[in-house]
Structure 1
Amino acid sequence: MRLSEATWTEVADLDGDLALLPVGSTEQHGPHAPLGTDALNAESVAEVGADAFDGEVVVGPTIPVSVAEEHRAFDGTLWVSPDTFRAYVRETIESLAHHGFDRVVVVNGHGGNIDALAELCRRVSRTGDVYAVAFTWFDAVGDHSSDMGHGGPLETALLRHTHPELVREDRIDEARDGGADRWGEWVSGVNLAHDSDEFTDNGVVGDPAKGDADRGAELESLAADSLASLLDAVESRKLD
């Protein structure tokens, strides 16, 4: 059930305690992919993962703005501070718990959110009346995970499968040629670049041409299966 499409009476009739909360970002993804890529991908994975799960789970509304200041040089990127982001997600989780959804999986689509989400899920689980964990879809797709970039093959592939009309196919070559091979500028294990425009001219990392719709369908299936397995574990976990 998508929470935003349900009535309050339909929610009141539910017996389950599981919820998914998609979290993305509004940030540049090169000249070929939309600013909402991370939010769209998180939402797609959450919905297909909910369908793959053999049980009752609600899918909350997608949180579209998050920790993305590293992309501030590119027009249209929006961001909030990590403190603001953690507070917003925490209070959203707590409001889900107020209605009985006290086991929450945050479905994340943006690498810049990973540290903040891990910290807040630990904190809310230790101190609140809810158990929460964070799931990042591109870390749960097997060997494909090693090919993750930014606006690169994985994100572009999933979009080509789920929202093909939003991919600017005539700009794929431009995206590849102006992009970087890897994220950051590394010396002695330290990333010297704080912002993405320091190492990629157009915001892209990786080759989006390597992410076709068939690969996107495989990524969606792998991510959904991983998410469904996680929901099984969260549902059966004994909590104090």
Structure 2
Amino acid sequence: MHLTEATWTDVDACDTDLAVLPVGSTEQHGPHAPLGTDTVTAAAVADAAVDAYDDEVVVAPAIPVGIAEEHRQFTGTLWVSPETFRSYVRETVQSLASHGFDRVVVVNGHGGNVDALREVTGTITRHDDAYAVAFTWFEAVGEHAADMGHGGPLETALLRHIAPETVHEDRIEEARAGAADRWGDWKSHVNLAHDSAEFSENGVVGDPADGDAERGETLLTLACESLVALLEAVATRDVARPDHR
């Protein structure tokens, strides 16, 4: 049940304590993919899993702005501080929990959100009247995860499958020409670069031509299966906190 499409009385009659909260970003994804890529993909994975799940799940509206200052040199990118992002996620989960939806899976589509989400879901679980975990779709696609870049093969493939009209196919060669081979500028296991513009001419990392729609279908299937398994685990988990020793 999508909160944006339901009435309050529909939601009041909903017999579940399980919710998903998609989170993404509004940031550059090269010349060929939309700024909303991370939000669109996170929402698509969440929707696919909710459709495949055997029981009812409440779907909250996607959070479209995340921790993305590393892309600030590229026009159109939006970002908030990690503190603001954590507070927004936490308070959104608290409002879900106030209505009884107190088991929440945050479905994430942006790498820059990962650390903050791990931290805030821990805070929610330890200190609030809710249990929360974070799931990042591109970490749950098996061997494909090794190819994750930025506006590269995985994100382009998934977009070509779920929203092909958003991909500028006539700009793929331009995207390839300005792309970096890997994320960052590394020395002694340290990434010397803080912003993507330091190592990528047009913001792309990886080859988007390696991500066709067929691969995108596979990615969605793998991410969906993994998220369904997680929803089942969260729904049945004993979420009582251990006593102090």
* TM-score where L is the length of structure 1: 0.99
Size of the aligned set, in residue pairs, is: 240
Find the counterpart in structure 1 of residue 105 from structure 2: 105
| Alignment map for 1:71-150 (pairs within 5 Å) | 71-150=71-150
Find the counterpart in structure 2 of residue 40 from structure 1: 40
Distance 1:59 1:214 in 2: 27
Q: Deviations over 1:139-167 (max 9, x none)?
A: 00011000000000000000000110010
Find the counterpart in structure 2 of residue 182 from structure 1: 182
Distance 1:102 1:49 in 2: 19
How many angstroms does 1:73 deviate by?
0.3
- Letter of the 2:50 partner, please give it: A
Unaligned stretches of 5+ residues in structure 1? none
- Letter of the 1:159 partner, please give it: L
Whether 1:4 and 2:23 are equivalent positions in the alignment is no
| Alignment map for 1:139-178 (pairs within 5 Å) | 139-178=139-178
Find the counterpart in structure 2 of residue 195 from structure 1: 195
* C-alpha RMSD of the superposition: 0.5
Q: Deviations over 1:143-195 (max 9, x none)?
A: 10000000000000000001100100000011011100000000011100000
How many angstroms does 1:2 deviate by?
1.0
Find the counterpart in structure 2 of residue 232 from structure 1: 232
- Letter of the 2:46 partner, please give it: A
Distance 2:58 2:51 in 1: 10
Q: Secondary structure at the match of 1:3?
A: coil
Identity %: 69
How many angstroms does 1:86 deviate by?
0.2
Distance 2:239 2:200 in 1: 45
Distance 1:19 1:176 in 2: 38
Q: Deviations over 1:117-140 (max 9, x none)?
A: 000000110001000000000000
Q: Deviations over 1:63-110 (max 9, x none)?
A: 000100000000000000000000001000000000100000000000
* TM-score where L is the length of structure 2: 0.97
